[in-house]
Amino acid sequence: MAALRRVVTGPAAWTAGLLAGLALLTGCVESDGTPPGGYAAPQTVAPAAPPPAATGRERPHTVLVLGDSLSAAYNMAPEQGWVALLDARLATEGLPYRMVNASVSGETTAGGAARIDDALAQHRPALVVIGLGANDGLRGLPLSDTRRHLLRMVEAARRAEARVLIVGMRLPPNYGPEYTADFFALFGEIADEQEVAHLPFLLEPIALDDGAFQPDRLHPTAEAQPRIAQHVWPALRPLLSGP
């Protein structure tokens, strides 16, 4: 398999407000990892208003995003989220890909591993973006379990002949220096072992900006979504064929 580009950005420290907000996430899911009221239904994302040049253009290939609330346009219109913004950019640039957002608020890697086969069969993606793991870490789950589930998803995607982008996350330091360091390193280690692409930290461009987060101090605002989309694009674009 040809080596895939690994996108590396510098580490970012968390703000005090964001640290508190991240810690709150452990109270946002039930003991089995289910968010209060159940999971939101996965949704196919399409640009709200494609530009005239993109209207009617075929986009036969799929980029499947498996994430949690950070990817699911939490507390905003679906078209405002970073996944939908990237879908609009794909259309604008005339690339034959569409984004399908199968992200679920409260999702853990165990949930993603359990449903990836059905998602792959349904959408037949050319590329799978795996943005899961934050809820594992914030619940303090064993990293061996997170590793196993991530590997399960990577291996399933590769069996389906899809390329893979692993999107990592950081934890606040109150989880202990060893656990937080090992958690952050886990995503890159799996990407290296499996020779797939890796974006180290989804929230890198906004982590120091308190104003980029909703009142819960955890979820990015709608206004922050373009910055996240711009951050993800350099990791995503090299994995897409086209002009």
| Higher-scoring residue by pLDDT: 15, 80 | 80
Hey, what's the torsion of the CAs at 29, 46, 239, 106, to 10 degrees? 0
* pLDDT at residue 93 is higher than 70: yes
pLDDT, tens digit, for every residue of 97-121?
Answer: 999 999 999 999 999 999 999 999 9
pLDDT, tens digit, for every residue of 150-197?
Answer: 999 999 999 999 999 999 999 988 999 999 999 999 999 999 999 999
Identify the structural domains of the chain with CATH numbers, from first to last. Answer: 82-243 (3.40.50.1110)
User: What confidence category does residue 58 fall into, taking pLDDT thresholds of 50, 70 and 90?
Assistant: confident
Please give the pLDDT value at position 12: 40
**Catalytic residue (choose from 117, 145, 209, 216):** 216
Q: Span 60-67, mean pLDDT?
A: 98
| Higher-scoring residue by pLDDT: 46, 221 | 221
* pLDDT at residue 52 is higher than 90: no
**Catalytic residue (choose from 69, 71, 103, 105):** 69
Q: How far is CA 128 from CA 13, 64, 92, 114, in A?
A: 28, 5, 21, 15
Q: Any catalytic annotation for residue 219? A: yes
Q: Report the share of the chain in percent with pLDDT over 90.
A: 73
User: What confidence category does residue 25 fall into, taking pLDDT thresholds of 50, 70 and 90?
Assistant: very low
Q: Any catalytic annotation for residue 241? A: no
Phi, psi of 22 (to 5 degrees): -60, -40
Please give the pLDDT value at position 172: 87
Least confident of 40-49, 77-86, 207-216: 40-49
Q: Which two tokens stand for residue 77?
A: 């219109």
For 78-114, letters b (16+ CB in 10 Å) and e give ebbbbbbbbbbbbbeeebbbbbbbbbbbbbbbbbbbe
* pLDDT at residue 42 is higher than 70: no
* pLDDT at residue 40 is higher than 70: no
User: What confidence category does residue 243 fall into, taking pLDDT thresholds of 50, 70 and 90?
Assistant: low
Please give the pLDDT value at position 133: 98
Q: Any catalytic annotation for residue 69? A: yes
Q: Which two tokens stand for residue 4?
A: 């895939």
* pLDDT at residue 224 is higher than 70: yes
Please give the pLDDT value at position 30: 38
* pLDDT at residue 7 is higher than 90: no
Taking all residues of the chain, what is their mean pLDDT, rounded to a whole number? 83
Please give the pLDDT value at position 241: 84
Please give the pLDDT value at position 56: 57
